[in-house]
Structure 1
Amino acid sequence: MRQLPHRAAPVAVAVLLLAGCATDVVRGEASPLAGAPVDVTAEEFPITGVGDAPIDQFARNALADLEQFWTQAYPEYFGEQYTPLAGGYFSVDSSDLDESLYPDSGIGCDGSYTAPEDVAGNAFYDPVCDVIAYDREMLQELSDDYGRFLVPVVMAHEFGHAMQGRFGFAESGRSIQDETQADCLAGAWTRWVADGGAQHLSLREPELDDVVRGFLLLRDDVGSDPDDSEAHGSYFDRVSAFYDGFDTGLATCRDAFGVDRLFTAAEFTEPDFINQGNAEFDDIVEWVGATLPAFFGEVFPVASGAEFRAPAIEGFQVRAPDCDGLDDRDLGYCPAERTVYIDEADLAVPAYDEIGDFALATAMALPYALAVREQAGLSVDDGEATRSAVCLTGWYQAQWYTNSFADLLPAEISPGDIDEAVQFLLQYGVDDQVFPNVDASGFELVGAFRTGFLDGGEACGLDR
């Protein structure tokens, strides 16, 4: 967050997004319809320059399944028959390049020459030659660092660009629209794999957490220009687009990526650049402590028909107070004392230091949302409560994004803040010390946050 030099013009805390549509976060299945996946052979699916490394076979399997998916889906959603890539596929080993494996036209075709060495550290689609190329050394690093299924998702993203080469790139010319739409298309394909449609790949549920974590590596640098000719979007922008495809399919990918699409990516101001958009720890505690009761004090009566009684927020060091609802966890809500507690030493300070100021804001908002549920007569200690609290946290943080607290505080959101909330959920939200005995994956928690941020309170179950 950034502190403003002067107080902004008063704006009431809006009851924003209250009428959103509820969506369920759905888990992927892991069993293909046709049985165990089988490798596609080099003869069935040739790739120029391919080696015998397992990562190349994995990429080939993904590309073959992508062709199967789009052969079926393109006519239904885009009204024409699918046409295979005219220029085919190219693999390069940047750590041991053998230029003799490639034609004189290099990677691509005569009209758009790319030297094999220029593929290093990259995967791309060339619309001139209708070609997908990748560096298998880079794919191996992604697999090692973020799990094997990030590799197929990268292939699916590039295949999405190939489909855009058929149905059309963004008329606005904005790279961020094209890149996030390709993420959406990759999400729709991933759901098809999760539902058992693929012949050559399978997807295990925990791998979705790894995929979402991998998007952190693939996002634009925080504070960079969203109108740059190569902009891909913030972490939240890219993850949200992937969820669009995974949750609601190709129709959303086709129709929801126009000029009015919301993107959270933004450039840093000069003060933001110096501190990377992070306010002081004590300032965040003060600001969140003021805005949480203001926001829920306004929306709670609308949702429940009762007045909201704001709980206290207190920190502790390592050992939680002895109170039902805490059970020595790092955060929680104590109904008997009507107090939200957060472990400063083991959670609040590390989250702030490792991720950023909005990770701290998220840590404070989550148990506060449980207090909101308790006042509404709803559960606070099961999976439904957890997902609802995460959703409500997304709804609350959307108010920061829309500057609805300008009348309360001389502060506003900074680039990367919403990304930090997603990072907190993936790193800390799945820890039993934060949410005990909850069957939600990190993928589901991020999905619940996104639902609250975009769709609002009705999607969070507060009025049930």
Structure 2
Amino acid sequence: MQWRGRRESRNVEDRRARSGVGRAGGVGGVGLLAVLVVGYFLGIDVTPLLQDQGRTQISAPITPADEAAGQFVSVTLADTEEVWAHVFRDQLNRTYTPATLVLFKGATASPCGGANGASGPFYCPGDKKAYLDTDFFVTLERQLGAKGDFAAAYVVAHEIAHHVQNELGILARANEVRATASQAQSNAISVRIELQADCFAGIWARLAEDKFGAIEPGDLEEAVNAARQIGDDTLQRNAGQRPNPHSFTHGTSQQRSQWFV
């Protein structure tokens, strides 16, 4: 992906230089799903996080790699803003209100609860912000087997897709239904939400390819591989577990890659 020197978004809230300890509410919505799914693969016991997830921790020093990651995310976010503004205007006759993307390192707090390295990227409908620890890109490449800058762009596009769902009223309606559903039904709804977000991310990728001409050969394949590597069945299998379809909240590797394309 050709991103250096291109326009960056103004809707980035960089908390990576902050430090301290604070309190926040409990994990909810998309944030909880991210905690559980990433926990599956990393073999992390996320129970302490769910019980005491409101604590923020001291951030680590900012490295040149962090700075580059921040610039990359900002350019990708700007691309999503242009694409979705175009789609909302031309297809829905509506104005798209961009999300804010919060960059953090170590831990931070949100209305959906605390976030740290175990939680992975997530979108919080409560403040219409996406949260991303840029170290997750290292995890994505080294532990999840999803290499390439467009794999990272897919992660950003997927979280912004949740914002698009929120703007369209899809998340609110889904949460209403989940509130009275069984656990199995709630999981099934979550899978549909995640697969639709993958589909929206794919729409963004195709339109960005046409609009900006910044996508290089092999980029889309990197995104498809990333979607495949974070399927519930693959995450559970890599964590030494037997895949349990009834517990899936994001969809299988095959589903996620197919919905993206």
Aligned residue in 2 for 1:138: 136
Deviations 1:425-454 (A, max 9, x none): xxxxxxxxxxxxxxxxxxxxxxxxxxxxxx
Structure number, greater radius of gyration? 1
- How much does 1:143 deviate? 4.7
Match of residue 180, structure 1, among 190, 195, 198: 195
Residues of 2 paired with 1:238 and 1:162: CA distance? 18
Matches within 5 A, 1:334-413: none
In structure 2, the residue matched to 1:69 is 83
Q: Which amino acid aligns with 1:142?
A: L
Please give the alpha-carbon distance, in whole angstroms, between the structure 2 residues aligned to 1:114 and 1:121.
10
Other structure's SS at 1:187 match? helix
Q: 8 Å contact 1:220–1:235 — kept in the other structure?
A: yes
Could you tell me whether the CA contact under 8 Å between 2:141 and 2:148 is conserved in 1?
yes
3-state SS of paired residue (1:205): coil
Matched, 1:224 2:225: no
Distance verdict in 2 for CA 1:143–1:58, change over 3 Å: farther
CA distance in 2 between counterparts of 1:45 and 1:218 reads 27
Q: Give, in angstroms, the shift of residue 212 of structure 1.
A: 1.8
Counterpart contact for 1:160–1:185, Cα < 8 Å: yes
Amino acid in structure 1 at the alignment position of 2:209 = A
Report Cα offsets for 1:28-84 as digits up to 9, x if no partner. xx88xxxx8633357x44322145521121111111111111111123333421122
Cα distance in 1 for partners of 2:77, 2:92 equals 20
Any unmatched runs of 5+ in structure 2? Answer: 17-61, 179-188, 235-242
Task: Give a deviation string over 1:318-361, Cα, whole Å, max 9, x none.
Answer: xxxxxxxxxxxxxxxxxxxxxxxxxxxxxxxxxxxxxxxxxxxx
Distance 1:231 1:75 in 2: 32
SS of 1:185's equivalent?
helix
Residue number in structure 2 paired with 1:122: 120
Partner of residue 150, structure 2: 149
Alignment of 1:58-457 (within 5 A): 58-85=72-99, 88-94=100-106, 106-108=108-110, 112=111, 114-116=113-115, 118=116, 120=118, 122-143=120-141, 145=145, 146-167=147-168, 168-169=170-171, 171=174, 173=178, 174-195=189-210, 197-198=211-212, 202-221=214-233, 223-226=243-246, 228=247, 231-243=249-261
Amino acid at match of 2:85: T
1:298-328 deviation per Cα after TM superposition (whole angstroms, max 9, x unaligned): xxxxxxxxxxxxxxxxxxxxxxxxxxxxxxx
Which amino acid is the alignment partner of residue 130 of structure 1?
A: K
Q: CA deviation at 1:119?
A: 5.0
Q: Cα offset for 1:202?
A: 1.9
Give CA deviations for 1:275-301 in whole Å, capped at 9, x if unaligned. Answer: xxxxxxxxxxxxxxxxxxxxxxxxxxx
**1:126 is matched by which residue type in structure 2?**
C
Q: Whose helix proportion is higher, 1 or 2?
A: 2
- Report the equivalent of 1:49: 15
Match of 2:7 in 1: 40
1:206 Cα offset (Å): 1.4
Amino acid at match of 1:182: A
Equivalent-residue separation in structure 2 for 1:41 and 1:156 (angstroms): 15
Q: Distance in 1 between matches of 2:221 and 2:90?
A: 30
2: CA distance, partners of 1:156 / 1:89: 11
For residue 186 of structure 1, report the CA deviation from its aligned partner: 0.3
Structure 1 residues 350-406: Cα deviation after superposition (integer angstroms, max 9, x where no partner): xxxxxxxxxxxxxxxxxxxxxxxxxxxxxxxxxxxxxxxxxxxxxxxxxxxxxxxxx
CA contact (8 A) 2:112 2:124 kept: no
2:48 corresponding residue in structure 1: none
2-structure distance, mates of 1:113, 1:166: 17
What CA distance in whole angstroms lies between the structure 1 residues aligned with 2:253 and 2:87?
Answer: 28
SS state at 1:47 partner: strand
1:128 and 1:183 mapped to 2: Cα distance?
A: 21
Q: Residues 212 and 130 of structure 1: is their aligned pair in 2 closer, same or farther, counting only changes over 3 Å?
A: same
Aligned CA distance change for structure 1 residues 40 and 107 (closer, same or farther; 3 Å) = farther
- Displacement of 1:121 after TM fit? 5.1
Distance change (3 Å), C-alpha of 1:46 and 1:157: closer
**Matched-pair identity in %:** 23
Task: Determine helix, strand or coil for the equivalent of 1:115.
Answer: strand
Specify the code of the residue in structure 2 equivalent to 1:107. A
Alignment partners' CA distance in 2, 1:191 and 1:41: 20
SS in 1 for 2:245: coil
Q: Report how far residue 140 of structure 1 moved.
A: 3.0
> With structure 2 as the length reference, what TM-score do the two structures score?
0.63
Distance 2:123 2:160 in 1: 7
Kindly report the root-mean-square deviation, in angstroms, between the aligned alpha carbons of the 2 structures: 2.7
Is contact 2:102–2:130 with CA below 8 Å preserved after alignment? yes
Q: Which amino acid aligns with 2:164?
A: M
Mind listing any 5+ residue stretches in structure 1 that lack a counterpart?
Answer: 1-29, 98-105, 244-464
